[in-house]
Amino acid sequence: MNLWELLASLVNDHTVRTVALGTAGLGAVSGVLGAFAVLRRQSLLGDALSHAALPGVALAYMLTASKTPLVLMLGAGFTGFLAIGLFFIITRHTRIKEDASLGIVLSTFFGVGLLLLTYLQRNPDARQAGLNSFLFGQAAALLTRDLVTIAIFGGLALLVVFILWKEFKLLSFDRDFGSSLGFPMPGLDLLLTSLLVVVIVLGLQAVGVVLMSAMIVAPGAAARQWTDDLARMALLAAFFGALAGVSGALISSLGSGLSTGPVIVLCASAIVLVSLLLAPNRGLAWNAWRNWRSRSRLRGEAVLLDLYRMGAQHEDALQPHPVSALEAVSGARATQRSLQNLLARGLVQPGKNNWWALTEQGLAEAQRMEAALAADRDEQ
Amino acid sequence: MSSAQIEIQLIGLVVAAACALPGVFLVLRGMAMMSDAISHTVLLGIVLGFMVLGDLESPWLIIAAAAMGLITVSLIELLNNTKLVKQDAAIGLVFPALFSLAVILISRFARGVHLDNDAVLLGELAFAPFNRILLFGVSLPHSLVVMGVILLVNIAFIALFYKELKLATFDAGLAMALGFSPALIHYGLMALVSVTAVGAFDAVGSIMVVAFMVAPGAAAYLLTDRLDRMLLYAVLIGAAGTLGGYWMAHWLDANIAGSMSTIIGLLFVLCLLFAPRRGLLAIAARRRRQKWEFAQTMLAIHLLHHEGTAEAGVENRLEHLHDHLRWEPGFARGVVRRAREGGLISQSNGSLLLTAQGRQLAEQNLEG
C-alpha cells in the first residue's frame, strides 16, 4: 500500500475513517488541556488520573451491569475525582511530596481496579467487558456513537476552556495575582482539573489507561517549543494531538499486531523529538547553529583586532601580515576560515603568499571596536 | 495452607521488603515517579534482551532490563537538562515512548512466547510456584530465588552506604562538600530500583511495583522522623499489606497483586488519618487545641489590661467579650469555662478575675 492509498482509505474505508476521526478528536482535545497541564507542571497528574479511572469502570459495571461506554465513563470520572481529592489532601496536609502522592494514588487505585475487575471476571459474562481494552485501548473498535460521545464531551470541554480562557490563563501563570483580583482560584483549579478528567476518561477507550498520560503531555510539550503565546500553544497542541491521532490510526491499520494506542504514542513522541530539535529559538539544533555562528563571528572579530593592532605598530595601518604571524598572536583556531569570513564582509584583503591586510572599511570597523572596548574598560 | 500458598506468601514478603527499602529513599528524595517510569521501561530491556538472546530464562535479561532502567533515568535527566521541558513532563514523555516501543515489539516479534502485555502489567503471583529451579538440591520457586538475591543486594547496598545515602538524601550540598559524589549515589540507588523493578514485575506487574515501592515508604514517613525506623516501618507495612492482600485475594478469588496493593493503599490511608502528630486527625486536634489556647491567652491579656481600672467592672464580664473581642457568645462561654477549669481565672458576681497563674500567662505573652 503506498502513501496515497493509505490517505485515500481515510475517505473511503469506513472503519479507518471512524477510527481516525475519533483519535484525531481525542488528540485535539487532550492537546489543548495538556497544554495547560504541561504549563502547570501537572504532566504526571494525567498519568495518575488515567490509572485511577480503572476502579471506576469496574464499579460502574458492578452497579449497573451495563457496558455502555457512557456509564463506564461516569464511573471512571467518579473515581478520577476521588483520586484528585486524595492527591490534594496528601500534598496539602502532610509533608509527603507530590511525586510520592501521585505514585500512591496511581498504583493503589489501579490495584483496586484490578482487584474488582478480576473479581468480576469470575462471572464469564463480564469477560467481554475486556480488561485489555481499558489497559491498552481499542481504537480499532471505535463506533460512530463513540465519535458522537467524543464530539459532545470534547466539544463541551473546549467550550468551557474558550469561555474561561482569561481565568485559566491567570491560573496557569500567576495564581496569586488572580486571587488578588478576586477570581475564585481554587474553584477554577478544580474546574480545569475536572476537564482533564473528562478528557482522560474519553481517551481511555482509544488509547488505554497506561498510555493516556502521553496524549496529555506530548502535544503540549511539543507545542511549547514553538511559541511563547498561550493561545498559539493550545492551537498547536491541538493540531499535534490530532496529527498523532490520525497518523497513529493510519499506521496501525497497516499491520496486524500494531495496537493503535502505542502507535499513536510513538507518533506523538516523534513530534516531540522533532520539536525539541528543530523549533526556532528554543530547539537544540537551532541553538547549536546559533552558538556556532556567534562563535565564528567572535573569532573573526578577534582576528580583525589582531590585524589592526599589528598594523598600528607600523607606519602604514594597512600593512599586510602573514597568516602565520596572526596564528602566533591569537592562538585561535581556524584563522584561515575567519579571514575568509572577513573577506566576504569586505573587511580584509589578501596579498601575495597568504599575507593579509585590512581594507579601509576594516580599519574603520576595527577602530570602532577598539573604541568600544576602551569605553568598556573606562566604565569598569 | 498448602505449600504453594506458603510459597506465594513468601515471595510476596520478599518482594515487599525488597521494594520498600529503596522506596524509602525514593520518597525522601522526591523521585517516587521514577519508579513508575523504570518499572515500565524495563519491559523494553527484557524484549530487546530476548530478541538478542532468544531465551526468557537467561539471567542476562535481568541485567539488560536493569540497564534499560538506568538508560531511562539518564534520558529523563538529559531531557530535563536541556531546560526545554520540566522534570515532570520529561518523565511523562520518556517512559510512555519506550513502553509503547516495547509493546509493539512484543506483539510483532515475540508473540506466542510467555511474554504478553497483560502479564507484564498485572503480574500473576498465583503461577509463581510452578516455575521452579533447583538450588543446592532443594526445589525452590524461581521468583523466590531471584527476589531473595535482589533483597540481599538491596540490604547490602543500604547497609554499606547507609551514611552516604543518608547524607546525600538530606543534605546533598554537604555530601558534595565532604567529597561524596551525589551523582554516584543517585545512580547507585537508581540501579537498585531498576534491578528490584525487574525482579518484582515478573511477580506483581509493573504498576503494582510502584505501590510496593512508594506507599510503604510514604506511610512510614508519616510515622517517624528517623531514617532507620522509617526503613523498618516501611518493610513492616509492606509485609502486612502482602499477607492481608494475599488472604483477601484468596477470599475474593481475584488478582493477588491487585489485592496486595489495595491493602497497602488502605494501610497508607490509615496512617494518613491516624498517624500520631502527622496524621490528619492529629493535625485537626492540634489546630483545635491551639485555637482554644490562643483564645484563653487573649482573655487573660484582656483581663490584665483592664484590671484595676475604672471600667473593669464593665469590661471584665462574660457578656462584654462579644463586643470587645468579637467572640460569639457560645465561644466566649467555652473560653471562660476552659480558662476557669485551667485555673487561669475565677468568677465572682459575673466579673472575671485573673488568678496568679492567669496573670503570669498574660505577662509572659506580653513580654513576648
How many domains, chain A? Answer: 2
Using the Cβ of B258 and the Cβ atoms of chain A, whether some distance falls under 8 Å is answered with yes
What does A46-80 look like in DSSP terms, one character per residue?
Answer: HHHHHHHHHHHHHHHHHHH----HHHHHHHHHHHH
Pure H helices in chain B: 3-29, 32-53, 60-81, 87-109, 117-122, 142-160, 162-170, 172-177, 182-204, 206-223, 227-252, 256-274, 280-306, 312-315, 321-325, 329-341, 356-367
Which of A:263-302 have CB within 8 Å of B? 263, 265-266, 269, 272, 276, 282-284
ipTM of the complex: 0.86
Backbone φ and ψ for B225, nearest 5 degrees, come out as: -110, 5
Contact with chain A for residue B201, Cβ under 8 A? no
Please report where in the chains the cell 599589528 appears, as a residue. Answer: A310
Kindly give, in sequence order, each residue whose CB lies less than 8 Å from that of residue B100, ignoring residues fewer than 6 positions away: A211, A214, A261, A262, A263, A265, A266, A269
Domain end residue (candidates: A211, A246, A279): A279
The Cα-based distances of B133 to B61, B119, B141, B276 in angstroms read 17, 21, 6, 45
User: DSSP characters for B214-271?
Assistant: HHHHHHHHHH-S-HHHHHHHHHHHHHHHHHHHHHHHHHHT--HHHHHHHHHHHHHHHH
Interface test with B, best of A88, A91, A96, A200 (most B CBs within 10 A): A96
Q: Which of A98-102, A325-329, B13-17 has the lowest mean pLDDT?
A: A325-329
* CA separation for the pair B353, A239 (Å, rounded): 74
User: In this predicted model, what pLDDT tens digit does every residue of A118-135 receive, in sequence order?
Assistant: 888 776 554 545 556 777
d(CA A207, CA A212): 6
Asked if A359 and A268 sit in the same domain, the reply is no
In chain A, the residue whose alpha carbon lies closest to the alpha carbon of B87 is A41
Entry field: residues in chain B = 368
DSSP, res A256:
T
CA-to-CA distance for A323 and A63, rounded, in angstroms? 87
- Bigger pLDDT: A144 vs A165: A165
In the stretch 60-119 of chain B, residues with CB closer than 8 A to chain A read 79, 82, 84-86, 88-89, 91-93, 96-97, 99-101, 103-104, 107-108, 111, 117-118
Lowest mean pLDDT among A3-17, A20-34, A165-179, B64-78: A3-17
Same domain? A293 vs A273? no
Same domain, A234 and A306: no
What is the pTM assigned to this prediction? 0.85
pLDDT at A161 over 90: yes
Taking only residues 41 to 70 of chain A, the set having a beta carbon closer than 8 angstroms to any beta carbon of chain B reads 41-44, 46-47, 51
Q: Does domain B281-367 have CATH number 1.10.10.10?
A: yes
- List chain B residues with CB under 8 Å of A103: 32-33, 35-36, 210-211, 213-215, 218
Where among A279, A301, A325 does a domain terminate?
A279
Asked whether residue A78 falls in the same domain as residue A197, the answer is yes
pLDDT at residue A372 tops 80:
yes
Amino acid at B75: L
Q: How far is A221 from chain B (nearest CA, A)?
A: 7
Going residue by residue through chain B, which has 368 residues, state the pLDDT in tens, using 9 for 90 and above: 788 889 889 999 999 999 999 999 999 999 999 999 998 898 899 888 888 887 777 778 888 888 999 999 999 999 988 888 888 899 999 999 999 998 888 887 766 555 566 666 666 677 777 777 777 777 888 888 889 999 999 999 999 999 989 998 888 888 888 888 888 888 899 999 999 998 887 777 878 899 999 999 999 999 999 999 999 999 999 999 999 999 999 998 888 888 999 999 999 999 999 998 889 999 999 999 999 999 888 888 888 888 777 777 777 777 777 777 788 888 888 888 888 888 888 887 778 888 888 888 888 888 76
Note whether A108 contacts B: Cβ–Cβ < 8 A: yes
State the nearest Cα–Cα gap between A213 and chain B, in angstroms: 7
* A43 and A17 within one domain: yes
Q: Which residue has the higher pLDDT, A139 or B342?
A: B342
Instruction: Write out the residue range of the structural domain in which residue A364 sits.
Output: 286-379
Q: Under 8 Å CB-to-CB from B57, ≥6 apart: which residues? A: none
If asked whether residues A229 and A297 sit together in one domain, one would say: no
Same domain, A171 and A257: yes
Q: Which residue of B36, B107, B254 is in closest CB contact with A115?
A: B254
Residues of B in contact with A266 (CB under 8 A): 97, 100-101, 104
Which of A47, A103, A135 is facing B35, going by the closest CB pair? A103
CATH domain B3-275 topology: ABC transporter involved in vitamin B12 uptake, BtuC (1.10.3470)
Question: Does A262 share its domain with A292?
Answer: no
Q: Which residue has the higher pLDDT, A103 or B62?
A: A103
C-alpha B51: how far from chain center: 36
Q: For residue range A301-317, list pLDDT tens digits in order.
A: 888 888 888 887 887 77
Q: Report the distance separating Cα B60 and Cα B57, nearest Å.
A: 9
User: What residue spans define the domains of chain B?
Assistant: 3-275, 281-367
Residue A199 sits in the same domain as residue A257:
yes
Identify the residue among B76, B100, B117, B253 best suited for mutation to test binding to A, counting A beta carbons within 10 A and taking the highest: B100
What is the rounded (10 degree) CA torsion for B224, B228, B232, B235?
100
Q: What is the sign of the dihedral through the CA atoms of B279, B281, B287 and B292?
A: negative
| Residue after which a domain boundary falls, among A217, A252, A279 | A279
Alpha-carbon distance of B248 to B12, in angstroms, equals 14
pLDDT in tens, A207-246: 888 788 889 999 999 999 999 999 999 999 999 999 999 9
Same domain, A269 and A174: yes
DSSP string, A273-321: HHHHHH-TTTSHHHHHHHHHHHHHHHHHHHHHHHHHHHHHTSS-TT--E
Nearest to B21 by CA among B273, B145, B195: B195
Q: What's the CATH number where A232 sits?
A: 1.10.3470.10
Question: Which helix (DSSP H) or strand (DSSP E) does residue A322 occupy?
Answer: strand A321-322
Residue among B85, B215, B262 minimizing CB distance to A112: B262
CATH number of the CATH domain containing A352: 1.10.10.10
Q: Are residue A244 and residue A143 in the same domain, yes or no? A: yes
Domain match, A270 and A313 both: no
Please, is B78 exposed, middle or buried when counting C-beta atoms within 10 Å of its C-beta (0-12, 13-18, 19+)? exposed
How many C-beta atoms surround the C-beta of residue A137 within 10 A?
A: 28
Which residues touch A126 (CB under 8 Å, ≥6 apart)? Answer: A61, A120
